[in-house]
């Protein structure tokens, strides 16, 4: 994992799988709009019958819970530490969640994310 700094928030990025770890509270910081952040967090639902592989929290090593974000399809499933250490996003999911939070298309965070991860994808091809 490498640490990236995005809008003064440190995020951990796994260069092997493209996943991203956010410590508790960092998603809210990145969203920057408390009202939208709250709406998004309120839309989290635990999915107890997910077929996705269980991940372990990088901080406490406990099995993380699968969380469905919002109601929209296709379903966006992220992983959440049961102790509340933070959230894990598989490749592309962080991008996806900002899209669903209906942030401004050209907000700073969106631009930074596309620059960072758009660039990575180019290198792989």
Question: Which residues contact Zn ion (rule: CB under 5 A)?
Answer: 57, 59-60, 81, 83, 85
Query: For Zn ion, which is the closer residue by CB, 17 or 60?
Result: 60
- Quote the least distance from Cβ 99 to Zn ion, whole Å: 26
- Quote the least distance from Cβ 60 to Zn ion, whole Å: 3
Q: Is 122 exposed, middle or buried (0-12, 13-18, 19+ CB in 10 A)?
A: exposed
Nearest by Cα to 11 from 70, 63, 88: 88
Query: For Zn ion, which is the closer residue by CB, 46 or 59?
Result: 59
Return d(Cα 123, Cα 32) in angstroms, integer: 30
- Quote the least distance from Cβ 27 to Zn ion, whole Å: 15
- Quote the least distance from Cβ 23 to Zn ion, whole Å: 10
42 membership: H or E segment, kind and range: helix 34-42
Return d(Cα 88, Cα 91) in angstroms, integer: 10
Query: For Zn ion, which is the closer residue by CB, 25 or 99?
Result: 25
Return d(Cα 69, Cα 119) in angstroms, integer: 27
Query: For Zn ion, which is the closer residue by CB, 79 or 109?
Result: 79
């Amino acid at each position: 994992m490498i640490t990236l700094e995005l809008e003064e928030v440190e995020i951990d990025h796994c260069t092997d799988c493209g996943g991203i770890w956010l410590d508790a509270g960092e998603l809210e910081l990145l969203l920057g709009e408390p009202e939208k952040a709250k709406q998004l967090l309120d839309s989290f639902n635990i999915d107890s019958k997910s077929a996705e592989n269980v991940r372990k929290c990088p901080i406490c090593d406990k099995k993380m819970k699968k969380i469905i974000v919002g109601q929209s399809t296709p379903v966006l499933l992220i992983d959440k530490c049961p102790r509340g250490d933070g959230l894990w996003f598989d490749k592309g999911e962080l991008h996806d969640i900002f899209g669903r939070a209906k942030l401004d298309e050209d907000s700073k965070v969106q631009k930074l994310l596309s620059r960072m991860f758009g660039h990575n994808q180019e290198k792989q091809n």
